[in-house]
Structure 1
Amino acid sequence: MNGKDSEFHEEELSLKLFVVLTRALQSIKTRVEEDIRKSGLNLTEFAVLELVYSKGDQPIQKIGEKVLIASSSITYVVDKLEKKQLLKRVPCPKDRRVTHASLTAEGSELMDRLFPVHRTAIKEIVNGLNNEEKEHMIEQLKKLGMYARDL
């Protein structure tokens, strides 16, 4: 293969990788969303609850960057979860300018029920790969993500 053919092949391969990654992510995301919708929550609500459930009380201002949603949407999502009595706002004892999102007893009970089922669903969704393939894929995707971030 000469230089031009090699470069063309690399570009075609890069485009194919992008399309395959995008389609795979969409298929996985669709299945995950179907699983979460069964609980009466949307993906964003579940992501916020899961973060607070796994990591403890979180500053509302920081939730958006941790669950990859716009900070302008966080207040709306927290309001909805508060109305469902799954989250409550708690003032930070160290800094009155900061408000934390905290699970209510109902929120904790819900996540105690939902999260194990969700973990099992995720395992089933990605069962197309064995553990060694999953570990390799994680390494490769991290490498690709860090490279793209640093461009």
Structure 2
Amino acid sequence: MNGPKLESLTGGSGVHVFLVLWKAARAAQAYAEKSIYELEMCGSDFAVLEALLHKGPLPVNEIGKKVLLTSGSITVAVDRLETKGLVERRAHGTDRRARIVHLTKPGRKLITRVYAGHAADMERLASASLTRAERKTLISLLKKIGYEAATVSEPGEEDTSA
């Protein structure tokens, strides 16, 4: 009964790396979602507003790429935020078909406050478990594996920027 040897789930095998990464990502995502929820905002709304805060005005499809939402989901999120008066769509300067999403003053005020609270929560988590040097190493390693996975799964579509 000498069949192919199953890859170990310990000792640094590829499967072990994936399982540890997956479990850590799920736990960190749950922590982040709790932080955002406590700040009275859903995750997709937070992601859209945060992208606009840090990247400036963007077309809807670019926001979707940045925050990893499908075209349908990003449209619904932008519509919801526009209804709340937090963003507005404006005409593109050179492309009459395109609309650019901008933060409104109330939107900027809200996301600035909410982002500060969320950033403090994320800092508490990171500083409780990792030194500054460990964080830099972890970021570098995660980008490396993320880039490789994106290159293999979707050639030409990788965006591992954070």
Give the structure-2-normalised TM-score.
0.83
Could you say which residue in structure 1 is the equivalent of 2:110? 110
Displacement of 1:147 in angstroms is: 2.0
| In 2: Cα distance, 1:74 partner to 1:148 partner | 24
| In 2: Cα distance, 1:31 partner to 1:102 partner | 28
Which letter maps to 1:135?
A: K
1:22-52, CA deviations, whole angstroms, 9 ceiling, x for partnerless residues? Answer: 1100111011101111222111110000011
Between stretches 28-37 and 7-16, larger displacement belongs to 7-16
| In 1: Cα distance, 2:40 partner to 2:8 partner | 46
Could you say which residue in structure 1 is the equivalent of 2:76? 76
1:90-131, CA deviations, whole angstroms, 9 ceiling, x for partnerless residues? Answer: 111221111011111110111221222221111112221111
The answer as to 2:21 corresponding to 1:35 is no
Sequence identity (%): 32
Could you say which residue in structure 1 is the equivalent of 2:147? 146
* Deviation beyond 6 Å, 4+ runs, structure 1: none
Give the structure-1-normalised TM-score.
0.88
Q: Where do 5+ consecutive residues of structure 1 fail to align?
A: none
Secondary structure of the residue aligned to 1:126 is: helix
| In 2: Cα distance, 1:10 partner to 1:117 partner | 37
Structural mapping, 1:84-123, within 5 Å: 84-123=84-123
Could you say which residue in structure 2 is the equivalent of 1:131? 132
Over the residues paired in the alignment, what is the CA RMSD in angstroms? 2.0
Displacement of 1:11 in angstroms is: 8.8
Between stretches 19-28 and 109-118, larger displacement belongs to 109-118
